[in-house]
Amino acid sequence: MNPFLRLFGITCVFFFALIAWMTLGGITTARNVEQGGLLSSRVQDLYGSPMTQQAPAVTLVWPVLRNHPEEHTDTQGKVTTTNRPVWETATSVLIPKQTRIAANLTLDERRKGLMWFPLYKVGFQGAWQIPIETTVPENAHVEITFVYPDASTHYDDFTFVIDGQDVARTLVNTPGLVTASILGPIATGQVIELGIGYRSQGMTEWRYQPTREVGQVEDFQLAMTTDFAAIDFPAMTMSPTLKTRADAGWKLDWSFARLVTGQAIGMTMPTHIQPGELASKLSFSAPIPLGLYFVWIYVLGLLRRYEIHPINYLLLASSFFAFNLLFAYTADHLDVEYAFALASVVSVLLTVSYLRLVVGARFAFVEAGLAQLLYQVGFGVAHFFDGFTGLTITVLGIVTLFALMQLTGRIKWSEVFGADESSKPPPKGPELNPDLAAEMAPRL
C-alpha cells in the first residue's frame, strides 16, 4: 500500500476516534451536570448544607426616653413644633474577653449515582466569658442571640448554659436562631458565663466566624479534631497555629491573645474521586494516548515490515474507545477503582487478542500490549492524582520520542516515502551476447 495513503487512512481513523471521544465526554459531562443539580438539593435536604457557625451576639439593652419633635398646623396655617416623649431601645454590644471552642469533625461520605458527597458530623462546644464593662443604665437587661449555622437541619443534645444553668428549654425560638434574656440584676463588672453545645451534620465545609465583619477577639482558642488526614482550609480562613497528628486524623489549634480580623476558621472536607468527572476527563484526554500508541505501532510495523492496514488501526481505536465507554457506564454502579480495572482489562484483551491474529502473538502481547498498558492505562491512573496528568503525558511523550529516535535513526525516509514497490517494473535480467544468442537459437 502506498505509504502516503496509509498515513492518510490512519489520520482519518484518529480524527474519527477523536470525534467519538468528544461526543462521549460531552454526554458524560451532561449527565454529571444533570445529576449534580438534582442530587445536591436532595442530599442537602437529607443531610444539611455547608455550615458557618457565628459567635453568639451578646447585647446590653435598656429603655431610653427621647423627645421627638412634631409639627402641628392650626386653622390659620400657623406651624408650631412640640416635643413628644417616646420610649426607645438603646443597645451596647458586649465583647467576650475569653473564647473556648471545641469542634470534632467526622467524615461521613455518601454516594448517589455518579456523585460522591463529602458529608460530615460535627460535635460543637463553645464557652464564652462576657464582661459588662460599661455603666449599666436603669432597667437594663442582657439579650443573647445565637444563630444556627443551618436552619434546615437538626441539632441533637443542644445545650444553652448561662452562669451554670441550662436554659435551653426556655429559649425564644424564631426561624434560624434562638434568644435568651438575662433580666437582672445587672451590674458593672459582672462577667456572664455562656456555654453552647450541640451535635449536627453538614456537607462540604464547616466554619466558625468569631467576629461579624472586622472585629477584635481576645484570649481566643479553638481546638478542632478530625478523623481524616487530607485536611484543607476554605478560602478566606485562618491557618491553625498548631497541627498535631492524632490517630487517623489531626488535632488543630488556633490560639490568639488579641486578634483583629474579619476572617473565619474552617475546614474543607476531603472529596472522594468523582466517577462522573473522572469519566469525562478520561474521555476528553483519550486522543493523547491513542496518538502516541498509533505512532509507536506504525514505526514498529515499518521497521519489521508488518502489513498493518488502516482498517486494523480503526479496530484498535475501537478497543481504546471501549475502555472509556465501559468505564463511563459502570462507574455509577461499581467503585471507581473496580470500574477502571474492569475497563482496562477488557480494552487490553480486545487489543492483544486482535493483534495476535493480525501480526503475531509476540508483537501483540509484548510490544503492543505493554504499550497500551503504558499509554492508556498508565495515563488513566495519573488522573487519580491531582496535578499529575500533565507531568505524566510529558514523561510519556519524551520517553516515546527517545525510543523512536533511537529506532529510526538509520532509516532513510526518502526511500520509505518513495515510489510504491508494487508500482515499480520488474528488474531486467542480464543481457545475452548477440553472437551467443544466434548460436543458441537453433538449439532452442
**Count: domains in the chain:** 2
Q: For residue 243, tell me if it sits in a domain.
A: yes
d(CA 251, CA 94): 31
Evaluate whether residue 234 is within a structural domain: yes
pLDDT at 433: 52
Are 142 and 192 in contact by the 8 Å Cβ rule? The answer is: yes
Structural domain including 404 reads 3-37+273-417
Q: Cell numbers of 276, please?
A: 462522573
User: Is 428 within a domain?
Assistant: no
How would you list the strands of the sheet with 51-54, edge to edge? 51-54, 205-209, 265-268
Which burial class, exposed, middle or buried, applies to 289 when counting CB atoms under 10 A from its CB (0-12, 13-18, 19+)? Answer: buried
Domain identity same for 211 and 298 = no
Please say which residue of 236, 268, 300 terminates a domain. 268
Kindly state whether residue 442 falls inside one of the protein's structural domains. Answer: no
Q: How would you write the pLDDT of the chain (444 residues) with one tens digit per residue?
A: 777 888 899 999 999 999 999 999 999 888 877 776 667 777 777 788 899 999 999 999 988 888 877 777 777 777 777 777 788 888 888 999 999 999 999 998 887 767 788 899 999 999 999 999 888 888 889 999 999 998 888 899 999 999 999 999 888 888 889 999 988 788 888 999 999 999 999 999 999 999 888 888 899 999 999 999 989 999 889 999 999 998 889 999 999 998 888 899 999 999 888 888 889 999 999 999 999 999 999 999 888 888 889 999 999 999 999 999 999 989 878 888 899 999 999 999 999 999 999 998 999 999 899 999 999 999 999 988 877 888 888 999 999 999 889 888 888 877 777 645 444 455 444 454 555 445 555 554
Exposed e or buried b for every residue in 15-50, given b needs 16+ CB within 10 A? eebeebbeebbeebbebbeebbeebbeebbeebbbb
Residue 80 is predicted with a pLDDT of 77
Q: Is 103 inside any structural domain?
A: yes
Domain match, 87 and 169 both: yes
Q: What is the pLDDT at residue 424?
A: 47
Please state, in angstroms and rounded to a whole number, the distance separating the CA atoms of residues 121 and 197. Answer: 14
One-letter amino acid identity for 293?
Answer: Y
| Domain assignment of residue 425, yes or no | no
From 137, 132, 118, 265, select the one nearest 190 (Cα to Cα). Answer: 132
**DSSP per-residue letters across 275-312:** HHHHHHHHHHHTHHHHHHHHHHHHHHHHHHT----HHH
Report if residue 359 sits inside a domain.
yes
Instruction: Write the CA distances from 64 to 143, 247, 378, integer angstroms.
Output: 16, 57, 75
171 plus 109 within the same structural domain: yes
The angle at the Cα of 98, spanning 95 to 102, to the nearest 5 degrees, equals: 120
Can you give the pLDDT at residue 423?
Answer: 46
Distance of CA 156 to the CA centre of its chain: 30
In a domain? residue 314: yes
On whether both 335 and 399 belong to a single domain, the answer is: yes
373/359 same-domain check: yes
Domain boundary among 240, 268, 296: 268
Residue 156 pairs in a beta bridge with 199
Indicate the DSSP class of residue 232. B
Bridge partners (DSSP) listed for residue 102:
125, 223
Joined together, the cell numbers standing for residue 10 give 490512519
d(CA 355, CA 347): 13
How far is it, in rounded angstroms, from Cα 327 to Cα 329?
A: 6
251 shares its domain with 204: yes
Residue 318 shares a structural domain with residue 388: yes
| Whole-number pLDDT of residue 435 | 55
Tell me: do 124 and 216 sit in the same domain: yes
Residues 248 and 368 in one domain: no
* 233 and 289 housed in the same domain: no
Rounded to two decimals, the pTM is 0.71
Pair (238, 309) in one structural domain: no
Residue 370's pLDDT is 93
3-state percent breakdown (helix, strand, coil) of the chain, nearest 5: 40, 35, 25
Burial code (b: 16+ CB inside 10 Å, e: under 16) for 163-175 equals: eeeebeeebeeee
Residue 32, phi then psi, degrees to nearest 5: -65, -45
Say if CB 189 and CB 67 are below 8 A apart: no
Question: 95 and 21 share a domain?
Answer: no
Provide the pLDDT for residue 438: 54
Task: List the CATH number of the domain containing 91.
Answer: 2.60.40
Q: How far is CA 387 from CA 31, 118, 267, 277, 391, in A?
A: 24, 21, 22, 15, 8
Last residue within a domain, chosen from 268, 302, 330: 268
